[in-house]
Every structure is written in C-alpha cells, then in structure tokens.
Structure 1
C-alpha cells in the first residue's frame, strides 16, 4: 500500500528564532559598517626632509615614504615635503616635537646643539669603522637603546627615531685650491656639522653650521672659503662645481654616518602595532636599497665631475693624521659629560671586536682590484 505523504510541518520555534537572529545580525552588521570604515581611515602624516628637493637625500626620503605608503595598505599614508616647506632644515626637530610636523628625515648631527651625544649617532669619531658597521652597532651593539635613552630619558623628548641608510666616507670638501697640509685649514671659513665642527675648530678653522641648501650661495658670496656636504651626487646637484674646482676626497671628520627618521612619539604610539612595524621595516628596507643606489649614483657622478673639469684630489695622510689627533682632543673634552662617555665606550667596544674581525676574515680587496684593473 503506498505510503501517505504527511503534510509539511510548520517551522519550529527554534528555526524561527535562528532565522530571526541571522537577520538581526545582518542588520547589525549593516548598521555597524560605517563605524568599521571610519576605524580604517588612513592615518596621514605630514613628513618633511631636511634636504632640498633636488638633492638625492630627498630622493632617499621619498624611497622610505614610498615603502611605507605601499605597505600601509591604505591605512597609513605619509606626505613628503622638502626642506623649507614647513620648517627650515635645522628646525625640523622642533617642528616634529611641537606637532607642526608629524615626522622628518635628516641626520642627528643637526641636533647636536641640544646634546653633543646626538652627533655620536650621525658623525661619530673615526674609530676605523664603516657606515654599515656603525648601523650594525645600532642594531646589535646597543646603539638603538642608547639613542632611545638619550631622546626619551636624558632629554625627555616626545620623539621616536630610526637610524637608517649608511653614508660612505665623506669628502674633505670643496676648496679654492688643493689642500696639501693641515696648516691650510687654519683660519679657513669652513662649513660642516655636528662633532665635525668641533674637530675643525681644533684644526684652527672658523666653522659655520648651515643646512645643505644654503652652502653654495654662501660660498658664492664669499661667506665661506670651503665646505663639505656629503657625496659626489649631492655635491653636484647642489651646485658645488659652480663655485669651486678643487674637490678633496676622503677624511676622518665624517668617516661613517647614517640618516635619522623621526616621528612625534605621541602620534607614532597612536598607530596600530602593525602600522608601527611597517614604519620600522620600511626604514630597514630603504636603508639597504640606499646603500646599493649610492654605489651606482656616486661612482657615475664622480666620473662626470672629472669629465667636467673638476680637479679631484685625495686628502694627504698628513691631514688625515692631524684629524685623528684632533679627534683625541674632542673625545676627551666631550667625554666629561657622562652620557657622551657612555656612548663612546659602547662604540669602541663594538668597533674593536667587529672591525678587528673584519681585518682577520676579509681578504684585501685592493690587491685584487689593482691586479685586474690597474695592471
């Protein structure tokens, strides 16, 4: 006998409540959506470099900003401005502290008027290390902790900073004639920054500190006799060959340096942890890329300077030795301040171990270079 089909059962109370809860949840999600969108609106930081727009240093700042903006996933955006847009080059630090700017790209030597130890993270003594070894100290030798201590404890600044971008040994600078003896530096109106200013004062120079964009106009007006900035590319872009034809390469005044990327700490701390990480890792990535870009651009532009009639000279050993002797005096004088001395001892311990190991481990590259290219 065929089975009789039962009529459909009415929906159970449980099913009704379940469907009602689902609809309610969907409605709540719809209502809540504007709040989610608002929570994910991009944080926009106004960020100024201490460099003129035409300088390769501003390009390095842009490289960092591009990485942050790309990895920020629409939740963090940095707007880059050139020196002078909001604050003068030497005033960026104060503008970030006041909140007029959210961040900046520069060098710690620019702030050594606040505390001489600032310059140890930008223009340290010539311990025999290279710039990337100095950044190694920052990362693995205790340098970042000391920087943080200086900024946030010793000076109590509402600031967070990341050290990035190794700068090769800087030229002695641009002069009216070739420098063959340290005596020629005495009485010279010379531009430099940071502890290098103390060094050249020991050598008898009359030192002036100014931002990069001001140097060439000052030389053109006779306010400076000579000046250093940083590298063949920057020096070319800033116009040094227009006011001088004698370019002295090498020096111990700034044999290792790096950039400083800073943010207002209150604003940085308000970011989600993953966005703070984006900034940290963008600084590291830009640092590596900058080291490779510098190899390419500086070497090309040095050749271009020679082709354009600039007389390129090597700083003689007698001048280099005079600089080392001057470093002795600067270090001794400034180490009377306890925190300065603390940083110096940390740097010396790192360099003695790391550079000492380098000399043991790495082969002499000059021997091979001369064999293949100077035969």
Structure 2
C-alpha cells in the first residue's frame, strides 16, 4: 500500500482538531499549557503511541514526548519537533472563534502551529491503522516555549535531535507551499532605564524620566537596522503613577541576522548602547538567541529532495528557501542534523486575530507527512 492509498477522513480530522484550537495555550500560562498537553496526549495515546509528560521548568508548562511502536524502537529515527504554545492570551478565542468559512478554518494558534502538529500525528495514526511500518521509528516532541525563544526546552530538543537521523518541523508552510531549509539567527534583548523619581506636579524638574529616555532610545535602536541585521522593539512598559516621574522602564528588542558574524556585530552594537545620560542609566542585556541554521547544507538539501519527490506525487511543487523567522529548526539545523522546516499546513494571519488555515491543506499535508515517514530510511 502507498501513502497515497491511506484512508484519511477530512471531516473527522476537522472534528478532532477543534479541541486543540479551543484549548487556549499562551506561552506565559503554564496551567493552560498543561491542559493543552492533556488534550494532545489523549489523542496520541488513542493513536497507539507511548506518551511521556515532561515537567515544565523556568515557569513554563510541560512538554510531551510521543513514541510510536516500531521493531527498532529506541534506535535513531525521525523526530517531529513542534510547539504547543501560542502568542494569544486566554480570551482570544472570543475574538477569533473556531469557525469554517469559505474553505478556511479560523482560531488562535491554528496556523502556528497546532494544525501542523496535528497532521503529523494524523499521518502516523493512519499509517498504524493501515498496518504499515515506517522504515524508521518516529518520535514527536511538543514543547511549551517556542514563542519566547525556547529558553526552557532548547536542551531537550537538541538532545532528542541528536538521538535521531532526521528532524521534521511542521511549522506553517510558506505562501507558495515552500518549506524552509535554513533560518537566520534571532537574538532577544532586555532593555531597562533607571531614572530619578519626583512628583510630576510640584517637583517635575527634580525628576529624570525613565520612560522619556526609553522613548528616545527606541528610534536609535531601530535605526541600526540594515539588510543584514534588523532591530525592532516590540514590548515596553514603565511607570506606576501618572503623577510620578517614572523611575523605571522596561522593553524587549529583537534582532535578526543572516550570518553568525552579522549576529555578533549586532550583539556588540546593542550591548554598546548601555550607559548613563542625564542621570538616567540605560542597561542592555542579551536574552535568548537562536543560532544561524545555514541554508544550502548538503544534508538538508538531500532531505528536501526526498520531500520534494513526495510532494510531486501529491500534485504540488515543494520549493525551499531560507527564512528570517526563527523556529526550533534553528537548533537542530545548526547541529548539522538533516532538518526540514515549515512542512505544516497552508494559511495566513499567524499571530493576529485573523489567523486561519486553508481547509484543503489539512488532508494534503497529512498525506505529505505520511509519505515522509514511509520514505525516509
């Protein structure tokens, strides 16, 4: 039997995907992530897999490791690396509820990347139901902190990847159905200004505003952007009372670099901004960093070629390109383990209230993953 003959049921898939989307799981809510793990773990167990819930750390939720029965259980195989966390806070479902409209399915986190994880699981579920055996063992590792740079589970992902022969990352497919082979480095920075407090009404001149200083620093930071290294500030918070000159302000910045050399120059430039001015201290500290996954590595291209052949059998062309958005594929690709990223479903609006997937891509991408699992050896 070919993967083309597997009996996928589109309506059944959509019905079973719905609880995944309606279980909201923002990164910063460990309890919500634990509820999400429960939902997914049940489906994995019902598919015949062995499940292991790995406790969370650093304030993050738990991870889920899923292993499917195989004659070579425990030997190097295929790792599917995905994340269960989303950027959407609890309550987003009320603004972007689960619904099917004109060939699209909406909901928070459906594109990034719950539907991708789901189709990978569905592929293995159908393979096992058909009595087929994949050439290599298949493991799913689903983690809770990708959207904040994977500070808690990077080591877990890297260790699991080193125990396997290939890594598949079902992040959303690109608009033209391409996958990702290579990703730029992503660095995060924590910014802080420490000002001098005073009463904003009767002693304004005695104070030094931490907020005002941060506001002046932001265009300076973003002005350092070039074609090779970008900088942006995406979070800012400061002050306590409107009638007090602010004594503290905090912000978070992100930079993207195409090469390790560009990354290190960018890091040096950011850290070099630290200092004092007009009695206000500006402090820059380096946060989580994703390494460059260099595009065009032979082992990744060879894996892509296998995947492209499967796509051709399904009737679509699988292109490939590097991407500026970071993922956990940065880690596995940088380790030199053959990695293919963005094998997930088609859609648009990720990280927005318009997040949705193209309904027909569920079936297509489930078959695509089944083809990968049955082909790689």
- Under a length normalisation based on structure 2, what TM-score does the superposition of the two structures give? 0.24
Q: Which structure carries more strand by proportion?
A: 2
- Under a length normalisation based on structure 1, what TM-score does the superposition of the two structures give? 0.24
- Larger Rg belongs to: 1
Q: Which structure carries more helix by proportion?
A: 1
